[in-house]
Chain A
Amino acid sequence: MTPSPALRRLMATCGALSVAVLPHVPQLPPWITATFALAVIWRLVAEQRAYALPSRWLRLAAALAALLAVLLSFHTLNGLAAGTALLCLMAALKLGETRTPRDHAVLVLVGYLLCLAALLHEESLARLCFVLVAVWLLTAALARAQRPLEAASSGHPLRLAARLLGLGLPLAAILFVFVPRLEGHFWALPSQPDAAVTGIGDDMTPGDVASLARSDEPAFRAWFEQGAPRPPQRYWRVQVLEAFDGRGWHRATARADAVPPPIEADGTEYDYRVALEPTHRPWLVGLDTVLDWPHALAGRSRTGALMRLGRGPGGLQAIDTRLEYTLHSAPTARVMAAALPADLRHRDLELPPAAAPATRALAATLRAAASGDRDYIDQVLRRFHDEAFEYTLEPPRLGAEPTDEFMFRTRQGFCEHYAAAFAVLMRAAGIPARVVIGYQGGDWNRYGGYLLVRQSSAHAWNEVWLEDSGWTRVDPTAAVAPERVRRGADGRANAAGGVAGALADWAWLGRARQLWDAARTAWYEGVVNFSGTTQQRLLDALGLGEWGLRGLAIALTTGFLLTALLLGAWLAWEMRPLPLDPLQRAWRDVCASLAAAGLPRDPSEGPLDYARRVARTAPALAAVMMAFTEVYVRARYLPRPVAADIATAGQLARQVRLQARRGGV
């Protein structure tokens, strides 16, 4: 059985509305999603089985209950989350009284609002594409709802909606580019403090990790002014871990240092811009070694970690939205200090007394045989390389003495295991050492001209203090799995095996991924981050720079007013009422004067009925009104109208007006 036109119309609206609700489902409390889904299913069944819709009182009670439920569950009706929840619920309830085209239009408008809210939640390109589809479906549903049910389909609503959206696109583009941008937020949206944290943490406890979850999510992107550094130089510092408790490594300090360590730069230097995805932590990413940074935005700790300054705890501010900043780095720069201060030296040599006895014994043996610090480091790295150490993302769990177990028993691990063990070996031999966590590598996106670093490129390496070169980077993982450093994420993907690894070999897929990421980045660069400054730059390029925001606003307003006026005038001309003949004018005058006297004609009332009612209510007017109506009806509805009747009707109409004004009522 084919669904009736009414059911099809309802299905179109419900479907489009559901698509608009979909992006909110992860944030919505499950009961709201369930309520909405039930309402949709119920309404469709009710339409097909011809059930009666709920009564007005039931609907009112349901609306109040929904309001109360949202209030109880969010403790407010304000804000994005509660507002979205309320919208979804109200859409569900509105379905219970949806019959006329107007009801459908209301539902579609709710759907548009939900789309807007979806973009407030997330501004990604994927989200935009989804919302565009939702808006398209909603518009089609609106078009379908507004035309008569049995109308022979004059074009598919989807096609019509696509054409409408297409026609609206140039207008949207003009508005987007030319409406003056005000710096700052129009509405301050509260950030989501409980959002999941991905990427680099503050601690590192390799023994507790049985399997490293690899995420292909982008961590950040970097645009270089003069070409990107070679892959082995792509060490991105985030945080430094100095405190070791026998199991895990922890951050020692989170304080911007007043006195930065002296840095001696040689070799190539890079100017670049970083666009960092939200991390919900205050740490910035920088290519080792950062020489200069925006001082208003960030500070640098003693250990070389960049942190965002702000009003959060400890004078720092978590990065909850995409952050852009420019840095100046030199991969070959060295941090020079005449000597490590005694207290820091003590900290970077500290090992818990009972920790890792076997590793310490090994360190003592190796150190005794080595000719110096550098020779000792080489020997340790060679040991990692020569002996049966294995690089794997799925290492066995480690027990109470993780360092010893890793060094002598399991010998399987990823960068964190090697960095941790290496630091213990260094400290045991009296060489100050620490663990640096950050990212290593990055994929060059040739379409967008930037370096993309994914969360899966997260890495841990070491720095050791040597008298002649200061803090020196050593990457023990490179000794075990050189391809990890040489090839970056791909190498790891292959090491991980599985579907992702196999897919990465397909060149076209790689290109498609690059293209998608470039489009995503262009979206952020061109649209999401389109600000007053970018707008000014664009206007300058168009030669409209000197107009200024005020001039632009005036020009836009004038333009739109003019267009609206022209359109209005054209429409008014198109829809001008047909000229009234004298008879119609007389009838209109009579109705108007009687309406002014408190006896308005109901639009559905025929002339005779009206005349009788007037005669009943206002006997003083009865005679003249009856006389007029007789003439009017004869001239208008009966055969062979006479010219005299029309003239008489005009005279009688004047009499009706006079008597009505004289207070005949």
Chain B
Amino acid sequence: MSPGIDARRTLEPVIAALNSIVLGKDRQIRLAVACLLARGHLLIEDLPGVGKTTLAQALAKTLGLSYQRVQFTSDLLPADVIGVSVFDRDHARFEFRRGPVFTQLLLADEVNRATPKAQSALLEAMEERQVTVDGQTHPLPEPFFVVATQNPSYQLGTYPLPESQLDRFLMRIDLGYPDPVHERELLRGRDRRALLAELQPQLPAETLRALQAAVPQLHVAEPLLDYVQALVRRTRDSGLFEAGLSPRAAIALLRASQGWALCHGRTGVLPEDVQAVTRAVVGHRLQLRTAVDGDRAADLDGLLLQAVAVP
């Protein structure tokens, strides 16, 4: 990592600000930040009203990122996301009107309600970090971070993201209900919108960029690579999953672990860092064989983490 930046101290105010908006979700907040530092995109899957949008907005605010929100609906067109070429009479030429995707933090709300065509427009932009319209390539701003949300319960009229598209998200997290203490605090406290409006950026843009650049540089020791490989092998050999993790997923797991380790101010990755992000990174990339007992199915940790020894 770049000298002179103590990532943990730098990020502390960010985490604290986020925690003051989204209460009692420290772990998820840290995962989201680690995901962003690892230059990955985030998928939040949860019920309405648990704070998905608030988290995304708070992230944008605290990190000082430009923010756009696209509500995905079934009539959303690709052009509504990436932009459209309009004929300019004055100059007698086509001019590209940038869509909402040209932002630093894009909240794609209820991404599974749009048609696959609109979905893939977004997902392509996520992967390429650029948009090509009419043969012209428009690079997306840096950093570019997509937070997509999807609602797991109402499947009627939705287009679930196919596995290959899910792979584009570095992490998938859920927020869940707050615990009673934090819920009470939430009920007593002020309106979140007002709080959000007051939120100040906590991180200069160049610091964020430096942190992002530091993630892949973070030291990874040989024994840790052994551990990551052992985890991946377990998903492939155990017969518990429909298909094992791909090499791309293995890289994702390593990057996310590096992001997590950086957040915690470490100069190298520990097995604990891998374990902390494993669920978020591989949860949406693995499908349990249906033959596996129902009571074990939910417990990815038991099937994967607890079955692999730390070297």
The judgment on whether A and B are partners is yes
Closest chain A residue, CB of each to CB of B244: A150
B10 to chain A, nearest CB (A): 19
- Chain B proximity mask over A1-31: 1 for CB below 8 Å, otherwise 0: 0001010000000000000000000000000
Does any Cβ of A come within 8 Å of B2's Cβ? Answer: no
Per-position 1/0 for B23-66, Cβ under 8 A of A: 00000000000000000000000000000000000000000000
CA distance A603 to B271 in the complex (A): 12
A636:B237 contact, CB within 8 angstroms: no
**Which B222-266 residues sit within 8 Å CB-CB of chain A?**
223-224, 236-240, 242-244, 266
Once the chains bind, are B310 and A605 in contact (CB under 8 Å)? yes
A52 x B310 contact (CB < 8 A)? no
Once A6-B239, A606-B271 are accepted as A-B contacts, the answer to whether A638 and B219 lie under 8 Å apart by CB is: yes
User: Nearest Cβ distance between residue B91 and chain A, in whole angstroms?
Assistant: 55
Given contacts A6-B289, A604-B308, contact A100 B238 (CB under 8 A): yes
Q: Does B18 contact A (CB under 8 A)?
A: no
* A54 CB → nearest B CB, Å: 10
Q: Is the CB of B236 within 8 A of A607?
A: no
Flag whether B292 is at the interface (Cβ < 8 A): yes
Q: In the complex, how many angstroms separate the beta carbon of A58 from the nearest chain B beta carbon?
A: 12
Bound CA span A150–B242, Å: 10
Whether, in the assembled complex, A579 has its beta carbon less than 8 Å from a beta carbon of chain B, the answer is: no
Would you call B290 and A637 a contact (CB within 8 A)? Answer: no
Q: Give the CA-CA distance A552 to B275 in the complex, in Å.
A: 59
Nearest CB of A to B264, in Å: 10
Q: Determine the distance from Cα of A607 to Cα of B269 in the docked complex, in whole angstroms.
A: 12
Chain A, residues 24-64, CB within 8 Å of chain B (1/0): the string is: 00000000000000000000001100111101000000000
Interface assignment of A225: CB less than 8 Å from any CB of chain B: no
Question: With the chains together, A321 CA to B291 CA distance in Å?
Answer: 48
In this complex, the interface size class of chain B, counting residues with CB under 8 Å from chain A, is 20 to 34
Give chain B residues whose Cβ lies under 8 Å from the Cβ of A513: none
The smallest C-beta distance from B263 to any residue of chain A, in angstroms, reads 15
A638 touching B267 by the CB < 8 A rule? yes
Give the nearest-CB partner of B309 in chain A.
Answer: A603
A55–B295 Cα distance when bound, in Å, is 10
Shortest CB-to-CB span from B295 to chain A, Å, is 9
- The answer to whether A47 touches B267, judged by C-beta atoms less than 8 angstroms apart, is no
**Given known contacts A149-B239, A637-B221, A637-B224, A52 and B307 CB-to-CB distance under 8 angstroms:** no
- A604 in contact with B272 (CB, 8 Å): no
- Which of A51, A149, A639 interacts with B268 by CB under 8 Å? A639
A608 touches B270 (CB 8 A): yes
A55 contact set on B, CB distance < 8 A: 293
Taking the complex as formed, is A609 at the interface, i.e. its CB lies under 8 A from any CB of chain B? Answer: yes
- With A148-B237, A603-B310, A607-B310 given, is the CB distance from A637 to B270 under 8 Å? yes
Say whether A556 faces chain B, with CB atoms less than 8 Å apart: no
Report A119-177 residues with CB < 8 Å from chain B CB.
Answer: 148-150
Contact of B268 with A638 in the complex, beta carbons under 8 Å? yes
Which A residues between 560 and 613 are near B, CB-CB below 8 angstroms?
Answer: 602-609
Nearest-neighbor residue (CB-CB) of A47 within chain B? B291
B221 touches A636 (CB 8 A): yes
Q: Which of A148, A150, A606, A638 contacts B272 (CB 8 A)?
A: A606
B294 touches A638 (CB 8 A): no
Judge whether B223 and A637 touch: CB under 8 Å: yes
Q: Which residues in chain A, 614-642, are within 8 Å of chain B measured between CB atoms? A: 633, 636-639
Residues of B within 8 A of A482 (CB): none
Alpha-carbon separation in the docked complex, A604 to B268 (Å): 19
Residues 329-380 of A at the B interface (beta carbon under 8 Å): none
A6, B289: Cα distance in complex, Å: 9
Closest to B291 in A: A99
Q: Does A278 contact B (CB under 8 A)?
A: no
Tell me, in angstroms, the Cα distance from A73 to B245 when the chains sit together.
Answer: 50
Task: Select the residue from B240, B268, B275 with max chain A CB neighbours within 10 A.
Answer: B268
Alpha-carbon gap, A47 to B242, bound state (A): 12
Q: Is B305 an interface residue (CB 8 A)?
A: yes
Q: Does B239 contact A604, Cβ atoms closer than 8 Å?
A: no
A99-B239, A150-B236, A636-B223 known; A606 vs B275 contact (CB < 8 Å): yes
Question: A607 CA to B310 CA in the complex, in Å?
Answer: 9
Q: Is A101's CB within 8 Å of the partner chain B? A: yes
Which chain A residues border B137 with CB–CB below 8 Å?
Answer: none
- CB 8 Å contact bits of A79-111 with B (1 = contact, 0 = none): 000000000000000000001110000000000
Q: Smallest Cβ distance from B172 to chain A, in angstroms?
A: 22
Q: A606 CA to B266 CA in the complex, in Å?
A: 15
Question: Is the beta-carbon distance between B270 and A607 smaller than 8 angstroms?
Answer: yes
Q: Which residues of A contact B244 (CB under 8 A)?
A: 148, 150
Whether B239 lies near A101 (C-beta < 8 A) is yes
In the docked arrangement, what's the CA distance between A603 and B308, Å? Answer: 7
The answer on a CB contact under 8 Å between B239 and A100 is: yes
CB of B306 within 8 A of chain A?
yes
What is the CA–CA distance of A606 and B261 in the complex, to the nearest angstrom? 14
What residues on B are CB-neighbors of A603 within 8 Å? 309-310
In the complex, what distance in Å separates the CA atom of A100 from the CA atom of B239?
6
B306 near A50 with CB under 8 A, answer no
Q: A52 and B224: CB pair below 8 A?
A: no
Contacts of A150 in B (CB 8 A): 236, 243-244
Q: Which residue of A lies closest to B223 (CB)?
A: A636
Please indicate the chain A residues that have their CB under 8 angstroms from the CB of B242 in the complex. Answer: 4
Residues of B within 8 A of A604 (CB): 275, 305-310
A52 touches B290 (CB 8 A): yes
What is the distance, in angstroms, from B164's C-beta to the closest C-beta of chain A?
16
Compute how far the CA of A101 lies from the CA of B289 in the bound complex, rounded to whole angstroms. Answer: 14
Known A51-B290, A639-B219: A606·B239 in contact at CB below 8 Å: no
- How many Å from the CB of B242 to the closest CB on chain A? 8
Nearest B residue to A604, CB-CB: B306
CB distance from B8 to the nearest CB of A (A): 14
Question: Quick one: which of A6, A51, A53, A636 has the most chain B CB within 10 A?
Answer: A636
Q: Give A51 to B292 CA distance when docked, in angstroms.
A: 10
The answer to whether A637 touches B268 (Cβ under 8 A) is yes
Q: Please tell me which one of the listed residues B238, B267, B270, B310 contacts residue A639 in the complex, with CB atoms under 8 A apart.
A: B267
A597 to chain B, nearest CB (A): 20
Q: How far is the CB of A95 from chain B (nearest CB, A)?
A: 11
Known: A99-B292, A609-B272. A638 touches B221 (CB 8 A): yes
Q: Which residue on chain B has the smallest CB distance to residue A149? A: B239
Q: Which residues of B contact A602 (CB under 8 A)?
A: 306
Residues of A within 8 A of B (CB): 4, 6, 46-47, 50-53, 55, 99-101, 148-150, 602-609, 633, 636-639
Q: A148-B236, A636-B221, A639-B219 are in contact. List 19 more A-B contacts (CB 8 A).
A: A4-B242, A55-B293, A99-B240, A99-B291, A100-B240, A148-B237, A150-B236, A150-B243, A603-B309, A604-B308, A604-B309, A606-B310, A607-B270, A607-B272, A607-B310, A608-B270, A637-B223, A638-B219, A638-B268
15 cross-chain CB contacts under 8 A: A4-B242, A46-B291, A52-B290, A148-B237, A148-B244, A604-B309, A607-B272, A608-B270, A609-B272, A636-B221, A637-B221, A637-B223, A637-B269, A637-B271, A638-B221
Q: Which residues of B contact A (CB under 8 A)?
A: 219, 221, 223-224, 236-240, 242-244, 266-272, 275, 289-294, 305-310
8 pairs of A and B residues whose beta carbons are closest in the complex: A603-B309, A639-B219, A638-B268, A606-B271, A50-B290, A606-B272, A604-B306, A637-B221
